[in-house]
Amino acid sequence: MQSTKAKYQSRFIPVAGTDDRLRLFAGSANIPLAQEVARYLGMGLGPMVRKTFADGEIYVQVQESIRGCDVYLIQPTCRSVNDNLTELLIMIDACRRASARQITAVMPYYGYARADRKTAGRESITAKLVANLIVKSGADRIIAMDLHSAQIQGYFDIPCDHVYGSPVLFDYLLSKNLPDIVVVSPDVGGVARARAFAKKLNDAPIAIIDKRRQTHNVAEVMNVVGDVAGKTAVLVDDMIDTAGTIHEGAKILRKEGARQVYACATHAVFSPPAIERLSGGLFEEVIVTNTIPSDAQFPQLKVLSVANLIGETIWRVHEDTSVSSMFR
């Protein structure tokens, strides 16, 4: 079978002769990913000075003229979330004041997305608050990958291109020729994601884990809806934070007779004690992408790159061509 890497690269052919009006800059959150995106586009990252003062204030200066240019700023708002978000806002403001024609914030990971609605009194909807901050700072467009919920696109009063990292994940899974796959949603809210994922895996059946969450980052699994006995269970989620949901889900899947358990997620947040939970022997593999930089290492971990996908999205936005057609 053709390798996943070759198959993926053949779908998104690297761009040659990039328009001089296109400029690419990277924040400090995930420079290796930004460098990969730049290589895909056949260009370099623009020069930018980033400094932090003794009291924690962030300073940004663009070191080349971007007047009249279309600027793309690659910056996931991952750990340290507040610093990276502030840096993105300052980068956008610097480019606006430098007379950029259009500023696009490329956010492989959108922090503060989990509070996307009010579930109790006196709560903040931080997903909307962050959207307001980005728009007010001067961004003209957003490119985001695998938002925690699709409704967040509507929080922006500017165009928002929602990109999916799932093609990278299911291409890798298909290359492994796994037998008797059942795609498992770790909760009811992820059913639509699991169903779309299953369709790409040759219309595999799905199962749902019914759980009750007692408090933030603590999940109590109740039961499994669907048949997983003797099958290869693929748990699909948008992110793995403390791995409580995935870990409890894997335990009940093993209890219900699943022969193998794989975990798939776009965003590897990996807050403690995620590594201990994921490397404890419940999973054959934990498959994530490089939207968030991580130095985590354990035998079951497999990290896939989404650089080509992001690079192709940037090029299509710049050329005013369809982004959604990439996922058909």
Alpha helix positions (H), the chain: 4-11, 31-41, 81-97, 126-137, 166-175, 191-200, 244-255, 274-278, 307-318
In the chain, the amino acid numbered 171 is: D
- CB count within 10 Å of CB 135 equals 17
Distance between CA atoms of residues 306 and 75, nearest Å: 14
Q: CB neighbours of 316 closer than 8 A, spacing ≥ 6?
A: 322, 323, 326
Structure tokens at 155: 């929080």
* Contact between residue 249 and residue 258 where contact means Cβ atoms under 8 Å apart: no
Best CA proximity match to 224, nearest among 183, 166, 280: 183
Best CA proximity match to 96, nearest among 127, 145, 136, 146: 136
Query: How many residues does this entry show for the chain?
Result: 328
Cα→Cα distances 280→106, 186, 194, 277, 298, Å:
35, 19, 24, 6, 10
* Contact between residue 66 and residue 94 where contact means Cβ atoms under 8 Å apart: no
* Contact between residue 275 and residue 306 where contact means Cβ atoms under 8 Å apart: no
Residue in 176, 211, 231, 302 annotated catalytic: 211
- CB count within 10 Å of CB 72 equals 30
Upstream peptide bond of 305 is cis (omega within 30 degrees of 0): no
Distance between CA atoms of residues 262 and 218, nearest Å: 21
The conformation of residue 230, written as its DSSP 8-state character, comes to T
Active site annotation includes 251: no
Please identify every residue annotated as catalytic.
Answer: 211
